[in-house]
Amino acid sequence: MTGKRYSTATAVALICAATVLTAPGTAFASPASAPASPARQPTDPTPRSDKSLEQVRKEIEKLYHDAGVATDAYNAAEEKAEKQSEQIVKLAKDIAKGQAKLEKLKARAGAAARAQYRGGGMPAEARLMLSDDPGQFLDGAGRVRQGEKATKGMLTELERTQEDLRIYAKDATARWKKLEANRKAKAASKKEIKKKIADAEKLESRLEKKERERLRKLEEAAALKKQSAWVSSGVLKDISGKATPQGKRAIEFATAQIGKPYVWGAEGPGSYDCSGLTSKAWAAAGRGIPRTSQEQWKQLPRIDIKNMRPGDLIIYHSDASHVGLYVGDGAIVHAPRPGRDVTIAGAGSMKILGVVRPDK
């Protein structure tokens, strides 16, 4: 894994860190227990207690979670819109070909009608029967039958082409309506994403610099506590699978993106959202997978955690709104949320919904 592979010692370090951060008596000091400091001016804001700051952390976490759900909806609508646009383009080409064919058939039908008019309106059969030359009559009769067959075939083809064009037009209209519905869905999701992120940023902006630092430590402590509980359950003892060649390539791609910012809807190369990272990682490995974490959960084969191997995708939260790529030894690489960069994290630092496998 190009020097970025996590070892068992890393998992142990995570457990130790979680234990230290969450052990009784080692919680972050509240202002009441802090050393005496110069008297505050009446205009200074009252510092938040850890309990109050923890509530802010949970509110921010929920807002970013909701933004993640909206991001998945936006990405799904985007993916559908792209497919619908491709289908509409194909239909437009089919319609153009059909119209060209129809014009040729109409021209042939017109030529046949003009030929009959020039013959004085007398049916060709009658003109041939009045002929004094029996051979000419027999030859002409054959040509009449051939002509009738060709004319009948031309009219049938004309009708079929007109019906095809009608179906194409109807299908194109239906797809345009779906495309417009998806456009509205994208716009609604985009608005929701921006609102949730703005609300989260507003909450965080109200904090003083030191409080923001404490908030970051609370986030880390909460993640480490969950990871510690997950590892302590003994789950890693049963996980011994090895990455496939494709899985290794996916991991190499994903870990090479570490440090790049999370941006909702992004698929690289400069930034990613969670499913943008996993879908591009597996695309780099030669395996196309669904764009969103929810569709990855729905469409890819599900694997029991004990059978998990590096390269598998871990889906998080009951609504499948987050995904990370398992790199081994109890760790994932993922794009966490707005304001954070692609990073390595504990696989158990969030609530696991399940595991899916892109390759067989």
* Nearest 10 degrees: Cα torsion 117, 118, 124, 126: 90
**pLDDT 10s digits, 28-81:** 333 333 444 444 444 445 666 767 888 888 888 899 899 888 898 888 888 877
Instruction: Quote the pTM value.
Output: 0.62
Closest CA to 11 of 218, 271, 229: 229
What is the pLDDT averaged over residues 252-259?
Answer: 97
Residue 156, pLDDT > 90, answer no
65 is catalytic: no
3-class SS of residue 116: helix
Flag the least confident range among 13-22, 210-219, 221-230, 247-256: 13-22
What's residue 16's pLDDT? Answer: 39
Annotated catalytic residue within 16, 65, 274, 317? 274
Residue 23, pLDDT > 60, answer no
Beta-carbon contacts of residue 18 (< 8 Å; ≥ 6 apart)? 221, 224, 225, 227, 228
Annotated catalytic residue within 16, 65, 317, 334? 334
**pLDDT 10s digits, 100-119:** 777 776 777 666 666 666 65
What's residue 289's pLDDT? Answer: 96
More confident residue, 284 or 21: 284
317 is catalytic: no
Residue 357, pLDDT > 90, answer yes
What's residue 115's pLDDT? Answer: 65
Q: How far apart are CA 172 and CA 170, in angstroms?
A: 5
274 is catalytic: yes
What's residue 13's pLDDT? Answer: 43
Annotated catalytic residue within 16, 65, 317, 322? 322
